[in-house]
Amino acid sequence: MRLHCAIISIAALALCTSADYFSVNFSYSGPNGPANWGRLSPSYAACSNGKAQSPVELIKTDIFMNKELKNIARNYLLANATLVNNEFNIGVHFEGKVGDININGKNYSLKQLHWHSPSEHKANGRIHDAELHLVHLTEDIKNIAVVAVLYRLGDPDPLISQFEEKLVELGNKKEIAIGSFDLEEINRSSRRRYYRYVGSLTTPPCKEGVIWTILGKLRTLSTQQLNLLKAPLNPKFKHNARPLQQINGRKIEMYYHPKTTTMGLM
């Protein structure tokens, strides 16, 4: 589907060259590994020579409280979704209206989400067990805003539980419709603290100008869920986290609201 392809490619997943077959040429190790992504295609140049790349480590000395930042909306709706094996990660794609966030007056709509393992961003001095990316685009699909959630191993994540059994089938199918997908869990997740900086896509073409919002609250997923998310992937993508990139003087802004303020401000 056209829109589907546009969305996928803008989100760095350039998979639309053929209708029913795709294969990417980048990898997370070896000759096509992250250090060489920029050499695989002229359109991947930013992967090597970009100065505002992602992921980064959230280090205290780079972080500044910004009182102008606003709470991020949590208006995600129930939506029909498709579970997709992107070969280098597992994603959930949406058609139509799911929800949107407003950043600096611009409206970004949620289009897809996907997982990386281990985490790509480093926070509190460590790389975590997994990371969820909620990819939002402006209507003209030119601007990208990603909300990231870091996970540690623990209780199962209700978000993943919704399609957990279907992950087994993704080993030999590219996509599976999963019907109505409940994003209530994301609505509910605490937004008391988040970090904001401008970076890039973490996969080729490593496009810059991506507005990152990293939620301060860790979620948990079970070991079984993490294994199920990895199982359908090509073996070379079972580890699918890009190494940390230089901050190059970029500032990371922090939004924080203590629990004790007005009701509803979580």
Counting contacts by CB under 6 A, is residue 203 touching ligand NAG?
A: no
Q: Which residues contact 137 (CB under 8 A, 6 or more apart)?
A: 7, 10, 11, 108, 109, 111, 143, 144, 145
* Choice from 40, 56, 92, 229 touching ligand NAG (CB under 6 A): 40
For residue 221, what are its two tokens? 């997923």
Does 210 participate in binding ligand NAG (rule CB under 6 A)?
A: no
CB atoms within 10 A of CB 58: 20
Residues 45-104 interacting with ligand NAG (rule: CB under 6 A): 74-80, 97, 100, 102
Residue 36 binds ligand NAG, judged by CB under 6 A = no
Nearest 5 degrees, angle CA 117-CA 4-CA 165? 45
The encoded tokens of residue 112 equal 């897809």
d(CA 214, CA 123): 10
The Cα–Cα gap between 266 and 51 comes to 34
Nearer to ligand NAG, 107 or 189 (CB): 107
> Between 123 and 162, how does the x/- string for binding to ligand NAG read (CB under 6 A)?
----------------x-----------------------
- Strand partners of residue 183: none
Cβ proximity to ligand NAG, 53 vs 82, nearer residue? 82
CB of 107 to ligand NAG, least distance (A): 4
Residues binding ligand NAG (CB under 6 A): 14, 25, 40-41, 43, 74-80, 97, 100, 102, 107, 109, 139, 180, 182-184, 187
